Structure 1
Amino acid sequence: MQSNSKYRAMLLSRLAELDQRLHHIEAELDEPNSKDWEELAVEREGDEVLEQLGHSGQAEIARIRAALQRLRDGSYGECARCGERISVERLDVLPDTPLCKSCAAMA
């Protein structure tokens, strides 16, 4: 298996990207709303989309933090369900995954 430092760098980079994105979303949601009803309706729909993106980002941050903890614990790359090694190919695509391909398919 490749060095865990590669995955740590990938995870930290993504974490920084998400943090920046969530700050941008928060700033947009804090902007004052229009007084025009039509514009307000459109802005509200946009706010709902931004809120959903924020929730998705927070969930991904939690997964990344859990993966970083597994790196510290020495269990990174081991499936949390069956204990088998997670393939390098899978970790390259989903560095925050706690499950091997087989167990993820059953989830």
Structure 2
Amino acid sequence: MDPIEKLKRNLQNRKEELESRIKSINADISHQNQPLSNDWSEQAVERENDEVLEALGNASQKEIAQINLALKRIESGHYQTCENCAEPIPIKRLELIPHTIYCTRCAEEIESSGNAH
């Protein structure tokens, strides 16, 4: 199988996993399966858990956005092209960070300058 096609399939699978996670998180936060406890101290713990779940959901949404961008880049033929310098992104780097938009050199430069997204 073509390495880019394999990466595309992996990205699509990861997106499905994240969408499933978000659906589960939303159900947990809305307490569809289990209403809030009547005990105030229990409610406080449940609300703290909701905040953690919300943060996980937000991180998942952010990753989905990165995956969607990567899938668009695959479709447009720009997946292996660094958005900063237009040099090729090595396939090994894409295998490690499939939604990256930078080659290793540019990523290191951006990170060291403190301008990472």
TM-score tier (shorter): over 0.9
Identity %: 44
Number of residue equivalences: 106
**What residue ranges of structure 2 are gaps of 5+ in the alignment?**
111-115
State the shift of 1:3 in Å.
Answer: 3.1
Question: Which residue number in structure 1 is paired with residue 113 of structure 2?
Answer: none
Q: Which has the higher contact order (CA 8 A, sep 6+)?
A: 1
Q: Which position in structure 1 is the counterpart of 2:85?
A: 82
TM-score (norm 2): 0.86
Name the CA distance, whole Å, in 2 between partners of 1:12 and 1:58. Answer: 14
Q: What is the aligned partner in structure 2 of residue 54 from structure 1?
A: 57
CA shift digits 1:54-83 (9 cap, x unpaired): 000000000000000001100011111111
The Cα of 1:28 is off from its aligned counterpart by 0.4
Match of 1:3 in 2: 3
User: TM-score by structure 1 length?
Assistant: 0.94
Tell me if 1:63 matches 2:69: no
Moved over 6 A (4+): none
Within 2, Cα distance between the matches of 1:33 and 1:80?
47
